[in-house]
Chains A and B, each alone.
Chain A
Amino acid sequence: MNPSDHVDVDSLAELKDIMEDEFDILIDTFIADSEAKIASMAEIIAASDAEELRKVAHSIKGSSSNVCAAQFSELARQLEHMGKEGTTDGAAEIFENLKQEFTCVVATLKNHI
């Protein structure tokens, strides 16, 4: 799989320029933050809490877009939308995709450190 399918590498290079020394910290922060959120999302889906799903998915959607992970952000958007509609039906399936995508994103980002 091509890394650019998961992360827009040109934009990421730009972000690296801006962040300079802080880029590493940013990536570490993003990964740690996302891992925590994915963990809580698993519990939320198990509990079928649509409102909480919306909030966590919204947060992931925003932060992943900022690190140029468009596909990851799109999957989060779909989960946010479900939460907004008040349902968690079918969320587990998208959540699985999201976790997989996250793994790829992490790999790509770590390559850039």
Chain B
Amino acid sequence: MNSQESPADVQESDEVLRILIADDNDSDRLILQTIVRKEGHTVYTACDGQEAIDIFKEQSPDLILLDALMPNVDGFEAARTIRDLAGENLVPIIFLTSLKDAASLADCLDSGGHDFLSKPYNRIILKAKIQAFARMRKLHETVQAQRDEIVMHHDRLLHEQEVAKKVFDNIAHPGCIDAPNIKHLLSPMAVFNGDLVLASRKPNGGMYVFLGDFTGHGLPAAIGAMPVSEIFYGMALKGFSMQDILREINKKLKRILPVGVFCCACMADLSFRKETVEYWIGGLPDIFIYRKANHSVEQFPSFNLPLGVLSNDKFNTETKVAPMAHGDRLYMWSDGILEAGNEAEEMFGEDGVKQVFANNDDVDSVFGELLEAVEVHTGKMEQDDDYTVVEVRQVTEESLGEYFGERGMSGGMVGGPIDWAISYELRPKTLRDFNPLPVITHLLMEVPGLRPHSGKIYTILAELYSNALEHGVLGLDSALKGSPTGFAQYYSERTQKLHTLDMGQVKFHLDHKPTDVGGELSIVVEDTGPGFDWKKKLDDAEHKTEGYCGRGLPLIATMCKSVQYLGNGNQVEVIFEWEADH
């Protein structure tokens, strides 16, 4: 028995609902159907629970009036089935019942009913209930629609972030963050959490590591990350100092970021040869050094404002140096790890970190133990703030071999400049305040396979250039450097003379040729100075290996195939022979 009645006079402001009435009693059903239809609603009728379910599937009515006790499937079971079918849609079910005891009425609600209506039916109460549920249904629909919209926006935002992240990855230099001496945890979307980890080997040996944590999340943080990454890699590869790089990043961030957005950061310069770490910290938590030899931990606090806060004339690039032996580990982190909270909102904190070190007995497993401890602490609760952790191990230059990152500047012997020569002449105004070594080193590093030798080449260039400039062009006497006071005098004279320099030149001539095993690089440096008696000096050098600080020849000689002075000593040629490291 399934009859559909069309609505009669619909009162204004009342919504026309499609209402299913299920009652096995013919006269009761007739009364109810008449009342409901007179309110202007569309009515479907059913005589038992099974029929009610069938009509629900077919018509999906807006509201159901359901008799509790019916043959076949009773009202309770029908309500449960209909609720399952409706899923997340709200279909109000009002039980029709002449049951009076509290337990039975509670059963109505437990089985998925929203309300009940007692026999004999009261027209006014019924009308009020239908209206109340119509409002509730509408509210539910509104909430659902808004929720769907939020979900859609959220999905779109995530999608956009993923696309933006891909663009970022394509633009950003990957650096050597995957080098064998670095372990790091960085959420894949960290750039949108404001976290950034950068690492680059230096052309003159050693490695820079940078950890940044922008205030805020999302796009503003990601926008700041871009220039930081670009400046860091661009300058690191050209051999610029940590101070220069920090100053440049600070200048850029101060200019582009609005007040109140800044980048807490730590930058470390690992010297593999000297076994030290030079560091700068601005606004990040203390960094830790874990000593392999005796399992001791030292921590070093932040001593600067974050990047992007001060203008460059107030910005402090002062760094500190700590010893760091091969095998020692340096730890840097964003405050996320310290603030990682558990259910009681207790933070993991510095104590949590220290505990990990205290419990550790194998340096190689500290990193894993640290992450595990945080996970245990938080109980895998959703993180407030994604955290970033970096561990860097002090190693030897040689142990890293050719590894310069997946898109390192020179990968293998295919392509690239291998047979060329160039002259570079520096005139007084340039000599005054320009350091040509980063540019020249950068040029040389374009030679495929030469990069692992960059440390030696930089040393050679630096020695030859300072000789040509200081002794040749400026005419400074190296004998001055023999005593502490003379040393200071030497450098003060150097500064003064450079400042007023208006004559003289230094000329580099570089010539690179490939060989079967690698290449041969000739470096000729010529200055406009008067030269010196190089034959006599060389003789002296053979007898005096201690205390010799003339023209840095012994040091260079150990690195090259040959070193020879030409002409009257104002010209020196170094032949550097190298083998490709396969």
Contact = CB atoms under 8 A, between A and B. Distances in A.
A65 interface: yes
Contact of B121 (A29, A55, A66): A66
Nearest to B24: A59
Interface string A53-73: 001001101110111100000
Nearest to A80: B98
A11 B31 CA distance: 13
A19 interface: yes
Given A55-B69, A68-B120, A29 B34 contact: no
A65 B98 contact: yes
Contacts of A62: 25, 28, 98, 119
A1 interface: no
Nearest to B35: A18
B27 A66 contact: yes
Contacts, number: 53
Q: Is the interface of A mostly helix, strand, loop or mixed?
A: helix
A30 B120 CA distance: 14
Given A58-B98, A61-B98, A66 B24 contact: no
Nearest to B98: A62
B29 to A, nearest CB: 9
Interface in B113-162: 119-121, 123
A107 interface: no
A58 B120 contact: no
Interface in A25-40: 25-26, 29-30, 33
A109 to B, nearest CB: 11
A33 B399 CA distance: 97
Given A18-B34, A19-B31, A19-B34, A66 B123 contact: no
A15 interface: yes
A18 B26 contact: no
Contacts of A68: 120
Number of chain B interface residues as a range: 10 to 19
B380 interface: no
A5 interface: no
B535 interface: no
Most buried by B among A55, A61, A63: A63
Interface in A89-111: none
Interface size class on chain A is 20 to 34
B38 interface: yes
Given A62-B119, A65-B98, A15 B26 contact: no
Contact of A33 (B27, B35, B119, B120): B27
Given A58-B98, A61-B98, A66 B69 contact: no
Contact of A29 (B27, B69, B98): B27
A85 interface: no
A22 B98 contact: no
B462 interface: no
A11 B28 CA distance: 15
B123 A63 contact: no
A25 B25 CA distance: 14
B120 A22 contact: no
Contacts of A65: 98, 119-120
Contact of B123 (A18, A29, A33, A55): A18
A103 to B, nearest CB: 18
A29 B28 CA distance: 10
B413 interface: no
Given A58-B69, A58-B98, A68-B120, A63 B34 contact: no
Most buried by A among B24, B34, B123: B34
What 10 pairs between A and B have smallest CB-CB spacing?
A: A62-B98, A30-B27, A65-B120, A62-B119, A66-B120, A29-B27, A63-B25, A63-B27, A29-B26, A65-B119
6 contacts: A18-B35, A19-B34, A26-B27, A61-B98, A63-B119, A65-B119
